[in-house]
Amino acid sequence: MISQKAKYALRALAALAQAHPEEPMMISEIAQQQSIPKKFLEQILLDLKRSGIVESRRGKQGGYLLLKSADEISFGEVLRLVDGPIAPLPCLSQTAYRKCEDCDGEHLCEIRHVFARVADATRDVLFNTTIADAVEGAGSTKAPVRELLTA
């Protein structure tokens, strides 16, 4: 399962993707529109800013904008940033590999073999689905981001 923080991050990015590209959105506007607690959203947006996904502008016309295009931001990138490794077992992680404590040998592990297929399929979907894909809406075979996050 993904964390609530990851859901909020994806929803905030969807809101920014749907906004006018040159008009920053204020935190309060995103929070209200997406039903995200404002203080929590501030932390999330700071993390996204540090990783180069969004930018902030100060002043009366300030707020947040996407720094990267919505079609360049994958669900996998955001989930990995917010929740950490995307793997059902530590021995399958691409970014935080650890041998399982009770492992006698990865090449003989039946559990690892099955979950390797699960991890590969999951990563394939997550890293090939972008924020732009999720917000496409009508006429698309892909579900909008809110639908994806409540399924």
pLDDT of residue 147: 57
- Written as one string, the DSSP assignment of 87-108 is -SSGGG-SSS----TT-S-GGG
Q: Is the pLDDT of residue 144 over 80?
A: no
55's tokens: 């930018």
pLDDT of residue 51: 95
Q: Each residue of 92-128: pLDDT tens digit? A: 888 888 888 888 888 888 888 898 999 999 999 999 9
Apex 20 CA angle, 132 and 144, nearest 5? 30
Which residue type, as a one-letter code, is found at position 83? D
Contact predicate 149/143, CB 8 Å: no
Q: Is the pLDDT of residue 63 over 60?
A: yes
Q: In terms of residues, how long is the chain? A: 151
In this prediction the pTM is 0.82
- Which residues does residue 64 pair with via DSSP β-bridges, in sequence order? 25, 56
Sign of the four-CA dihedral 140, 145, 150, 151 = positive
pLDDT of residue 89: 84
pLDDT of residue 140: 47
Q: Which residue has the higher pLDDT, 14 or 108?
A: 14
